[in-house]
Structure 1
Amino acid sequence: MLLLNSLDAALDPTVFGGKAAALARAVRAGLPVPPGFALSREGVLALEAGSSEIEAAWLEASGRLGGPCAVRSSAVGEDGAAQSFAGIYETRLHVIGEPALRAAVLAVGRPETDVRIGVVVQRMVEPTAAGVLFTRHPVRGVAGLFVEASWGLGEAVVGGLITPDSIELGADGVALRYDVGFKELEVVAVEGGGTEQREVAPSRAEAPCLDEAQLRALAQLAGRCTEEYGLALDLEWAFVGPRSYLLQCRPITR
């Protein structure tokens, strides 16, 4: 029985869920995914029960990550081509310390539910800018690269807290259209753990949050993901300065 695996080995979506399996594939393809590990539904239940079957592996895996972590659900059937559970289940960000991480995994795994939910644990990325990228327009259905971006963590975008920058890119990363949004809030990590919303100064709220080099990097990331998955994709990404990270990758289902 598989309880816990490094993220690159969590390839079976029927065991670790769709999100974990997609990220495992991305890691193996050399995409810039933050390091982490995954627990199966049985792993979450074993952790809740304090089972010796998982304790040593848990302590080793959580200790290896070190520092703040992000904890996300990974349901069996999630992020498949026929359906998506994006945003339905819980996420805990900037979790600090092993006791808090254990509690976050149990909360996100929701072991009382009938749905088979695994959990992905990754080293926390604290971005300067983040957001989503679609390789097909989510409403019009036309092919292309469509970006929504904001300052700080991507939760400001996916949670609909602000009007994000809206960008259409060419395959080379040149902006065909860049509509600057009003990003009056950003979601940022808090020193003691967790996140909070902070006001953004008006001059920064109305400034583009991505530069030309970052736009090119996003186009390159989208191209690599498309080569690997061969589908219309919904990506969640983040920048720490010039460095890009792939946080999630799922098929577009609408």
Structure 2
Amino acid sequence: MASPILVTGGTGTLGGHVVPLLRASGHEVRILSRSPRPAADGVEYVTGDLLTGEGVAAAVAGARTVLHLAGGPKGDDEAARTLVRAASRAGVRHLVHISVIGADRVPLAWMRAKLESERAVAESGIPWTTLRAAQFHDLTLTMVEKMAKLPVFPVPGGLRLQPVDSREVAARLVELTLGGPSGLVPDMAGPHVHDLAALARPYLRLRGRRRPMLPVRIPGKAGRAYWAGANLTLSGAETGKRTWERFLEERLG
């Protein structure tokens, strides 16, 4: 019997695209989930928590490939270390990890946690692959929706985003997972770079709303990093094809 591919974060936005692709390729999939779920359609669920370590050893047992997609606002570094320890003991042969463009350049706490997660994977002794991706369209939409609820739409000066479609990132991750360990691979970004005003305009148009735009300043080192484009990869990246405008039309209709 072939060993299952363990996916952490398999019930999230990215995992929701990755898991069906892995199943379509003929692989059994095991998902580490914080909530109990019954097995279905060739997918097994193991209850566990990467922050406490509960259930993680059972999740990695018998898996030769682990795809680490789980992430949150904090604690990603500790979660990665917990997973790495269990995977090393279980004899995992390929650890695939999703990170974020700018993890090594933008001085924010959650970016530092992402970088520490990368280091935990790279220093684990397990053959590994890490893909850094730009902000997903889905998360960009959540941000724009929240800002559009304000009477004035804030536009941070110097902030540019290169949003990428999560379905395209999922397809790339599956390709990497089914291939051999590759280390740090080229980043994956969207087809266009936008400032926040350019992201907001098509959203507001589709929603039939108007908002005045108010330039604001991002202070400190983070502001300087964004002005310098530290969160972007303008050359050498794998580039998705689905644009922000197309995503909005599909999502908002």
TM-score, reference length from structure 1: 0.31
Q: Which structure has the highest strand share of the two? A: 1
Q: Which structure has the highest helix share of the two? A: 2
TM-score, reference length from structure 2: 0.32
- Name which one, 1 or 2, has greater alpha-carbon Rg: 2
